[in-house]
Amino acid sequence: MYPLWSLLAIALLAHLCGAPKGQKDLAKFAKGLSQAQRRALGVRQQADGFPAPSQPTFCRMMEHIPADELETVFLQAQEQLRGPPPKEDLVVLDGKEPRQGGGHSVLTAVSVPSQHYLGSAIVDTKTNEIPVARQLFKKLDLDGRKVSLDALHTQDHTAREAVLEHGADFLLTVKDNQPTVKANIQRLVPAPPADFSPCGCDPHTGRPT
């Protein structure tokens, strides 16, 4: 009734339409599709038309799909639909916990401002984001790119790998939990002017300067 490629097509379409993630959300999205849309997405016809896949159907799909292969298919489809991520974009790594159902948190890399998905990695409960970010570096094309990570990753090892092993420049956040580093930055780096805008825009009009 539901070829694997059909379920993947529905999941990809849901993502591109900004639907929340999760098997329950995918089932809700599929239910909202018209009969013609389900047919176009490969759902096989039954006596009552082209039925929407249920939540258990998407659960079974997720259990039998290798994560790396799914990511490869997604990246290929994204490039076909949107083209490659702009080289001048910032690469942002950010960790998120699932909103529903518990489970592991996921560290995801996206390009900003184009919002291309670049890759992700599971953060196992026995570790944290720091070593996972270094593993994720290996999956990404960071040569000549600027990479941004939050304060958790502000440490020598991560910065050294980003620059020396992957050819990136890094933007790391320093907060009060690293008082010595923060004090050294305040001493060595002049504070930006009051009207400084990180995006290069006029702070009053919002337009590029």
Query: What string of pLDDT tens digits covers the 209 residues of the chain?
Result: 688 888 888 988 888 888 776 788 899 999 999 999 999 999 999 998 999 999 999 888 877 778 888 788 889 988 998 999 999 999 999 988 766 555 678 899 999 999 999 999 988 877 789 999 999 999 999 999 999 998 889 888 999 999 999 999 988 888 888 888 888 888 888 877 766 555 555 555 556 55
Tell me the residue length of the chain. 209
Q: Which residues contact 199 (CB under 8 A, 6 or more apart)?
A: none
Q: How far is CA 179 from the centre of its chain?
A: 30
Amino acid at 160: R
Q: Please, which residues bridge with residue 123 across strands?
A: 105
Dihedral sign from CA coordinates of 160, 154, 103, 60: negative
Angle in degrees, 0-180, between the axes of helices 55-63 and 4-16, rounded to the nearest 10: 110
Angle at 44 between CA 38 and CA 46, to 5 degrees: 105
The structural domains of the chain, with segments of one domain joined by +, span 4-65, 86-188
How big is the chain by its Cα radius of gyration, in Å? 21
- Whether domain 86-188 has CATH 3.30.420.10: yes
Q: Which residues contact 202 (CB under 8 A, 6 or more apart)?
A: 208, 209
Q: What is the pTM of this model?
A: 0.64
